[in-house]
Structure 1
Amino acid sequence: MSPPGPRTARRPSGGPPGRRRPGLAARARRSALPLASLLLFLALWQLAAAGGTWSETLVPPPAKVWDAFVDVSTTHDGVRGYNGTTLVEHLGISLRRIAFGAGLGIAAGVLLGLLMGTVGPLRSLFEPWITFLRTLPPLAYFSLLVIWLGINEEPKVTLLAVAAFPPVAVSTTTAVAAVPRSLVEAARALGASRRDVVRDVVLPSALPETLTGIRLAVGVAYSSLVAAELVNGLPGIGGMVKDAANYNNTPVVLVGIIAIGVSGLIIDGLLLRLERAAVPWRGRT
């Protein structure tokens, strides 16, 4: 019987503890930095409000904005939320408008981007018009949409769709046009049809940039939200901000702005997670 060989230390299944601790420390630091910046911002805000340089109508203290948040989120003194609608309901209505309008613009942008990226004459035909739309601020054509479509939901949804369309169209067109010719030619040499090439080569190659364009499109739609709800925007978070501004109700205006910003951060984070799940090879090839 041969003597036993030298024993080797077995690593725990979770990996070496020396690597785990730095990971936890790094995550803690990443969480602490945003929290520290938020606390610093609140402290500077409180100092600016307490300094007396501006009146509370212009710069209300954080406590007053918190009170406004509680008021518009609940029923108080027989009044439900703001204008009979709570903050969550205002935000939900606006998010539905964004989902529908931006969804239409994104779908149209992806489809036209694929066509423009694969058919050269179409790119020459439509690219100047897309650039024209991309450079227009939403307020420049919102009044025209109101004249054409009335003051109900149609102009709001159309404005968000038009705002979301150019970023997706441009990013998809650029991504499709940048697909390596060698991959396309290799697929055709193996007997792939044009449809197979688009499905198996062009779409996977263009998907990372297209998803980036979708994130940009959602951001543009969010930045156009208040403009979309300028007319007959109540209920809606942008309409709430506009209506409160008419009465110099700065705390409610700030509540609406913070709600738009926080919900936008959450949605962008979800889109980023979707991008990482859909294109895990990005940055590794």
Structure 2
Amino acid sequence: MAAVVVTPEDQRAVRSGSLDASDTSAVLGARGGFGRRAGLRVLAVALLLGVWWVISAWGEPDEVIRPSPGLVWDTFVQLNTVHDGVRGYNDMFLWEHLAISLRRILLGSVIGVVGGLVLGVVLGTVTPIRIMLEPLVTFVRALPPLAYFSLFVIWFGIDESPKIWLLAVAALPPVAVATAAAVVAAPVGLVESARALGARRIDVVRDAVIMSALPEIVTGIRIAVGIAYSSVVAAETINGLPGIGGMVRDAQRYNNTAVVLVGIIAIGISGLVIDGLLSAAGRRVAPWRGRV
């Protein structure tokens, strides 16, 4: 059983009466739960590394098909240092490739999220427009990114523009669909109450409908950013270097599996961090979620 640590602040709060028995139990339960979750996640990573090591050590060594955890770690170190006169990968360190991809994801996601929010509110509040545009939004959402990336290359060339637009188009439909669905499902009583108090239509949409839909909108944004991040390799297929997706794609051409795995792990970990930040932001802007 995980040990629970009670801080002096908690003890003072209990003595002062600001925390009652139920609050104290909640504090202790939350901390105990966090310790158990952290322990289980560390155990899962350890088991994964153990299985990986066993598979890589089985039979004849094969750095292409079954690179070992040690080889991947050495590759990670090489990608972040100057090794034998070579600076990282393609004369850039791993974190520099990752930073360039994150910049592309940020720009594309911002464009897609803002466009999705505006479109979703319009779809949710104007029925004729929803009837006309909802099939188109669903059509675009069902397309894999590579299906329309070639068009963007034709229209915008092979520089940054097609990559940004690909990520933006990938991020827009999830936000639009989530926002429209949440706006349509806004409680009728809440809307009628706002109207009865003399609120204008724009005030009803802003203060009642959108605030009610905010938790679902945040979920849509998280999904959209995740889709944009998963599309970064496709976005960097053409002229992708520098960039983490371009690095993975380039290493695949030379069967450099260790570099591919380092890139995949870097994408996954940074994606977890970004999703965690978005989740924390969602709890901040919509703290009432799950409580009403």
| Same fold flag (TM > 0.5) | yes
2:121 — aligned with what? 114
1:177 — aligned with what? 184
Map residues 84-233 of structure 1 onto 2, 5 A cutoff: 84-233=91-240
2:246 — aligned with what? 239
> 1:108, CA displacement in angstroms?
0.3
The separation in 1 between residues aligned to 2:262 and 2:48, in whole angstroms, is 16
2:15 — aligned with what? 12
Tell me, yes or no, if the aligned pair for 2:97 and 2:247 is still in contact at 8 Å: yes
The separation in 2 between residues aligned to 1:71 and 1:222, in whole angstroms, is 25
The separation in 2 between residues aligned to 1:18 and 1:183, in whole angstroms, is 35
> 1:183, CA displacement in angstroms?
1.5
> 1:53, CA displacement in angstroms?
6.8
1:209 and 1:53, CA in 2 relative to 1: closer, same or farther beyond 3 A?
farther
Q: Deviations over 1:189-240 (max 9, x none)?
A: 1111111111210110111111100000001001111000000010000000
Q: Which of 268, 273, 276 is equivalent to 2:275?
A: 268
Map residues 71-90 of structure 1 onto 2, 5 A cutoff: 71-90=78-97
Tell me, yes or no, if the aligned pair for 2:14 and 2:24 is still in contact at 8 Å: no
> 1:27, CA displacement in angstroms?
2.1
1:67 — aligned with what? 74
1:27 — aligned with what? 34
Gaps (5+ residues) in structure 1? 1-9
Q: Which stretch shifts more, 52-61 or 178-187?
A: 52-61
The separation in 1 between residues aligned to 2:276 and 2:36, in whole angstroms, is 19
Q: Tell me the secondary structure at the aligned position of residue 15 of structure 2.
A: coil
State, as a whole percentage, how many aligned pairs show the same letter.
58
1:278 and 1:143, CA in 2 relative to 1: closer, same or farther beyond 3 A?
same
TM-score, length of structure 1 as denominator length: 0.93
1:38 — aligned with what? 45
The separation in 2 between residues aligned to 1:128 and 1:190, in whole angstroms, is 36
Letter matched to residue 232 of structure 1: N
> 1:25, CA displacement in angstroms?
3.1
Q: Which has the larger radius of gyration?
A: 1
Letter matched to residue 169 of structure 1: A
Q: Which of 58, 65, 79 is equivalent to 2:65?
A: 58
1:275 and 1:86, CA in 2 relative to 1: closer, same or farther beyond 3 A?
same
Q: Tell me the secondary structure at the aligned position of residue 59 of structure 1.
A: coil
Instruction: Give the alignment's Cα RMSD to 1 decimal.
Output: 1.8
Letter matched to residue 255 of structure 2: N
> 1:11, CA displacement in angstroms?
4.4
> 1:23, CA displacement in angstroms?
4.3
1:23 and 1:167, CA in 2 relative to 1: closer, same or farther beyond 3 A?
closer
Moved over 4 A (4+): 13-18, 20-23
> 1:77, CA displacement in angstroms?
1.7
Q: Tell me the secondary structure at the aligned position of residue 239 of structure 2.
A: coil
The separation in 1 between residues aligned to 2:150 and 2:210, in whole angstroms, is 37
The separation in 2 between residues aligned to 1:124 and 1:101, in whole angstroms, is 27
TM-score, length of structure 2 as denominator length: 0.91
Q: Tell me the secondary structure at the aligned position of residue 12 of structure 1.
A: helix
Q: Which stretch shifts more, 157-166 or 174-183?
A: 174-183
